């Protein structure tokens, strides 16, 4: 029954309102794409009472931007492609790419143990856990969030040193900010830079992401949206390892550039060869969990997907559940025929990015309300499925 209801959702308003779908296949016009996106996003905004959303679609290699509602309700400031939204866990894809660059630069090897890169962590458990385990949430049960009592570096290292795994490393995937956050911090340690500075130097600046921040500067505050929870304006509270796990803010203008680079890293300029290889490494497949492959930050499913499975798998009751993980005998390099994705949330924001490299097709959805992941993926699927079927 669940599959039937999900499929009914997928075949809902957007398809019913799109009569051109029955015509001979031909590239979609700007007007048709606008109608498709509007017919998908506007009902979602109303259903979930989302104040504002910025959407970016890549079709035939061409970026297109769609903006809805307001960035904040008090002054009714309209959403634009420059509006800054909190990305939540979509930030992990930046950590994955930065980690990939660190590998390509010789700063780390993913098979290095945590103990090799952290003199603070010499316990027996850390002699068996690798940086790859941290990056793929397979360290053995690190929690979703660090304890509230962990507020400074000394407390952070005490917590990790005292932590004990529930499962052998590499056997279970347990989605965790504490896991990939530590990976990001250790991956860049040998550079002599902190994570934020390394990310800026190795990823943001080469891709010309000038409006992507961990700490929004005064010059960009006017573009920073307010998130909404129970009708009240909220923004994320900084915490330990937030930059690595959930702390990036960006808009659809920059996120489109980031998505294009991830879709086609070979298209980057020669001076960005190390970054291109780092991007490819981040989309490599390291572990399989059901029908999903875990990369560095990114999650991949073979294309074409079974949408009901991907949508159902995005719900917190499944996405946050510890699940058996099978290591690939050798990591599989980035597969072009993949649905590559990541969701992200803070208390007041909800983000989603998905793309299909072989079709040069993708979508970014940034909202200033945290709404259910399945709704995000269903909406993205409604749009991308139509576009993927057109030449």
Which residues, at least 6 apart from 143, have a Cβ–Cβ distance to it below 8 Å?
A: 174, 176, 178
Whether residue 154 lies inside any domain: the answer is: no
pLDDT per residue rounded down to tens, the chain (391 residues):
333 333 344 444 443 434 444 444 789 999 999 999 999 999 999 999 999 999 999 999 999 999 999 999 999 999 999 999 999 999 999 999 999 999 999 999 999 999 999 999 999 999 999 999 999 999 999 999 999 999 999 999 999 999 999 999 999 999 999 999 999 999 999 999 999 999 999 999 999 999 999 999 999 999 999 999 999 999 999 999 999 999 999 999 999 999 999 999 999 999 999 999 999 999 999 999 999 999 999 999 999 999 999 999 999 988 899 999 999 999 999 999 999 999 999 999 999 999 999 999 999 999 999 999 999 999 999 999 999 998 7
Torsion of CA 179, 183, 186, 191, to 10 degrees: -160
User: What pLDDT sits at residue 318?
Assistant: 85
Q: Would you say how long the chain is, in residues? A: 391
- Number of folded domains in the chain? 1
Supply the pTM of this predicted model.
0.94
Q: Is residue 163 part of a domain?
A: no
pLDDT value at residue 391: 78
Which residue(s) pair with 72 in the sheet?
A: 77
Calpha distance 246→239 (Å, rounded): 10
- Domain range enclosing 13: 2-20+32-88+194-388
Q: What is the pLDDT of residue 25?
A: 73
In this structure, is residue 332 part of a structural domain? yes
Give the CATH number for residue 15: 3.40.710.10
- Identify whether 219 is a catalytic site residue: no
Q: Is 291 domain-assigned? A: yes
Please tell me which residue in 175, 198, 286, 287 is annotated as part of the active site. Answer: 175
Residue 337 within any structural domain of the chain: yes
Residue 181 within a domain: no
Q: Which of 59, 68, 89, 250 is catalytic?
A: 89
167 domain residue, yes or no:
no
Residue 141 lies in a domain: no
Residue 175 annotated as catalytic: yes
């Amino acid at each position: 029954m669940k599959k039937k209801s999900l499929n009914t959702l997928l075949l809902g308003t957007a398809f019913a309102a799109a009569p051109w779908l029955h015509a001979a296949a031909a590239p979609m016009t700007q007007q048709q794409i606008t109608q498709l996106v509007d017919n998908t996003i506007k009902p979602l905004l109303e259903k979930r009472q989302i104040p504002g959303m910025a959407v970016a679609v890549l079709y035939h290699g061409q970026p297109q931007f769609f903006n809805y509602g307001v960035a904040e309700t008090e002054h009714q400031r309209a959403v634009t492609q420059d509006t800054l939204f909190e990305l939540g866990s979509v930030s992990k894809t930046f950590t994955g790419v930065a980690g990939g660059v660190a590998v390509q630069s010789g700063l780390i090897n993913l098979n290095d143990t945590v103990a090799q890169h952290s003199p603070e962590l010499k316990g027996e458990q850390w002699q068996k856990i690798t940086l790859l385990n941290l990056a793929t949430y397979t360290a053995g049960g690190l929690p979703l969030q660090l304890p509230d009592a962990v507020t400074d570096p000394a407390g952070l290292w005490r917590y990790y040193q005292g932590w004990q795994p529930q499962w052998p490393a590499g056997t279970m995937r347990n989605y965790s900010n504490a896991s990939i956050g530590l990976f990001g911090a250790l991956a860049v340690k040998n550079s002599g830079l902190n994570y934020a500075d390394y990310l800026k130097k190795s990823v943001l600046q080469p891709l010309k992401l000038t409006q992507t921040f961990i700490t929004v500067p005064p010059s960009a505050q006017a573009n920073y949206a307010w998130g909404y929870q129970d009708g009240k304006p909220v923004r994320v509270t900084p915490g330990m390892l937030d930059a690595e796990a959930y702390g990036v803010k960006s808009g659809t203008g920059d996120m489109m550039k980031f998505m294009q680079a991830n879709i086609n890293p070979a298209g980057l300029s020669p001076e960005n060869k190390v970054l291109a290889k780092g991007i490819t490494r981040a989309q490599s497949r390291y572990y399989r969990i059901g029908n999903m492959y875990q990369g560095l930050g990114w999650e991949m499913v073979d294309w074409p997907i079974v949408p009901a499975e991907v949508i159902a798998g995005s719900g917190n009751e499944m996405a946050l559940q510890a699940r058996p993980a099978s290591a690939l005998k050798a990591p599989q390099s980035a597969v072009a025929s993949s649905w590559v994705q990541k969701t992200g949330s803070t208390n007041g924001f909800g983000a989603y990015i998905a793309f299909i490299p072989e079709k040069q097709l993708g979508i970014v959805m940034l909202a200033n309300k945290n709404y259910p992941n399945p709704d995000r993926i269903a909406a993205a699927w409604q749009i991308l499925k139509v576009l993927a079927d057109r030449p």
